[in-house]
């Protein structure tokens, strides 16, 4: 299949490119490189053993998108491109609505004009707001507690309206829980610029000695050890989930709008992750328990049953593999 991956040189996009290209698809990366490097494509070329196409462009550039869809004879789009930092979205909401909502709107117009009507969208567990029950299934009410979350929710609603208006659309919204880990080759991984917001890259930098200690945000939650609990899911499992979604959308049942949780169904606490990372790296991870981070919830984990039953997808990699691959990437990634 000919597949366009917007945001294809980013963290989750690059792992999905590696999988889809490795499975023999013609993949085209479309990325403005605002949060990734062209060097990722050189690394992907090494992984897949051939030269991949990167179109350097913005999803808000409808002309370039249309040209790319036509010239590359694209049949399906996986839409990763977007901004993702919650705090930044509170400080600069217009940038988030512009990139995430207007960007998706431009993409949809271009797809409609070119007759491409199969789309897999990167959504997030953030669309569930504060969990009202656990595990969170796809029937859980949606809400948003910050502009980033609202941008994802707006797009999901837009996609649902579109699918309802025209039965030719085949759309899957993939609601990721906490993506972590890196490719088994050690060649690609998460590459946050500046101080990492997320737990796993922060721990990796502490283990490597680049930062003194981890601040654990809150030790008094109603969880087994008092620290936050999340559903960490290996990025390679997420990539498998996108392949499964594309296969499903292409099947006789794929028409319409669908939402799927991508998580393991198992919650781990911040301190469990610290301990597992110490085991995987053989390094100490000093930490200090500090005040709760505003906006955080005690626990969030998925019911992945729908993805298992309908897509035949299940996360296969455990926390040990998540930590080991994140450490390999932290330690050797840049030098490979
Ligand atoms: P990332 O920043 O590594 O990748 C996003 C890519 O999109 C980057 O390469 C960036 O350069 C590109 N991009 C951004 N705006 C663009 C635009 N206007 N035009 C073209 N390219 C653009 O992020 P990621 O972690 O790989 O996330 C991918 C998607 O998954 C995002 O939509 C994000 O909101 C969603 N998501 C991520 C997480 C997570 O924890 N990583 C969780 C839930 C959902
Ligand atoms: N944490 C720390 N110290 C840190 C970083 C995180 O203790 O330095 C804790 C957090 O308090 C939380 C857990 O580690 O308990 C996970 O935090 P992350 O920032 O890694 O992930 P979140 O669950 O907060 O956020 C993720 C995505 C968001 C998305 C959200 C809800 O990064 O994009 O899930 O789906 F909005």
117 SS3 class: coil
Q: Which domain holds residue 152?
A: 2-180+232-263+304-315
- Whether residue 279 is contained in a domain is answered as no
298 membership: H or E segment, kind and range: none
- Whether residue 188 is contained in a domain is answered as no
Contacts of 321 (CB under 8 A, 6+ apart): 181, 234
- Whether residue 48 is contained in a domain is answered as yes
- Whether residue 53 is contained in a domain is answered as yes
Whether the per-residue pLDDT at 10 is higher than 90: the answer is yes
- Whether residue 286 is contained in a domain is answered as no
- Whether residue 167 is contained in a domain is answered as yes
Q: Which numbered atom of ligand 2 lies nearest the CA of 85? A: 33
Whether the per-residue pLDDT at 192 is higher than 90: the answer is no
For the domain that residue 88 is a member of, what is the CATH number?
Answer: 3.40.50.720
The 10s digit of each residue's pLDDT in 272-298 is 999 999 999 999 999 999 999 988 999
Compute the average pLDDT of residues 246-266: 98
- Whether residue 335 is contained in a domain is answered as no
Domain count, the chain: 1
Cβ of 176 closer than 6 Å to ligand 1, yes or no, is yes
Where would I find the beta strands (DSSP E) of the chain?
Answer: 2-6, 26-31, 53-56, 76-79, 118-124, 170-176, 178-180, 214-217, 229-230, 232-234, 256-262, 268-269, 287-290, 299-300
Chain-wide mean pLDDT for the chain?
97
Quote the ligand 1 centre to 226 CA distance (angstroms). 31
- Whether residue 290 is contained in a domain is answered as no
Tell me, yes or no, if 96 is annotated catalytic. no
> Would the pTM of this model clear 0.95, i.e. be above it?
yes
Quote the ligand 1 centre to 220 CA distance (angstroms). 32
Indicate which residue of 11, 97, 128, 148 is catalytic: 148
Task: Report the pocket of ligand 2 as residue ranges, CB < 6 Å.
Answer: 84, 86, 124-126, 178, 197-199, 202, 214-217, 228, 230, 270, 293, 296
Q: Which numbered atom of ligand 1 lies nearest the CA of 12? A: 26
């Amino acid at each position: 299949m000919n597949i366009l991956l917007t945001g294809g040189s980013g963290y989750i996009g690059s792992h999905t490119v590696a999988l889809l290209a490795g499975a023999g698809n013609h993949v085209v990366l479309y990325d403005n490189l605002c949060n990734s490097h062209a060097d990722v494509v050189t690394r992907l070329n090494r992984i897949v053993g051939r030269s991949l196409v990167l179109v350097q462009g913005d999803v808000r550039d409808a002309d370039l998108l249309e040209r790319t869809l036509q010239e590359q004879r694209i049949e399906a789009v996986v839409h990763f491109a977007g901004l993702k930092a919650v705090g930044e979205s509170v400080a600069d909401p217009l940038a988030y609505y512009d990139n995430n909502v207007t960007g998706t709107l431009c993409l949809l117009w271009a797809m409609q004009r070119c007759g491409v009507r199969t789309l897999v969208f990167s959504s997030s567990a953030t669309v569930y707001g504060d969990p009202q029950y656990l595990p969170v299934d796809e029937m859980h009410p949606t809400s948003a507690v910050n502009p980033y979350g609202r941008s994802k929710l707006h797009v999901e609603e837009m996609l649902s309206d579109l699918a309802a208006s025209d039965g030719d659309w085949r759309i899957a919204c993939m609601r990721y829980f906490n993506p972590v880990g890196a490719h088994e080759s050690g060649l690609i991984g998460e590459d946050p610029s500046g101080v990492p917001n997320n737990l796993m890259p922060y721990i990796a930098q502490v283990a490597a000695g680049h930062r003194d200690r981890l601040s654990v945000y809150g030790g008094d939650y109603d969880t087994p050890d008092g620290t936050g609990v999340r559903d960490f899911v290996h990025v390679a499992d997420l990539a498998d989930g996108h392949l499964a979604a594309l296969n499903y959308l292409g099947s006789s049942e794929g028409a319409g709008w669908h939402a799927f949780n991508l998580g393991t169904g198992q919650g781990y606490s911040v301190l469990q992750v610290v301990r597992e990372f110490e085991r995987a790296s053989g390094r100490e991870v000093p930490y200090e328990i500090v005040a709760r981070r505003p906006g955080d919830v005690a626990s969030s984990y998925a019911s992945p049953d729908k993805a298992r039953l309908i897509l035949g997808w299940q996360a296969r990699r455990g926390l040990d593999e998540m930590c080991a691959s994140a450490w390999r990437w932290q330690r050797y990634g840049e030098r490979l």
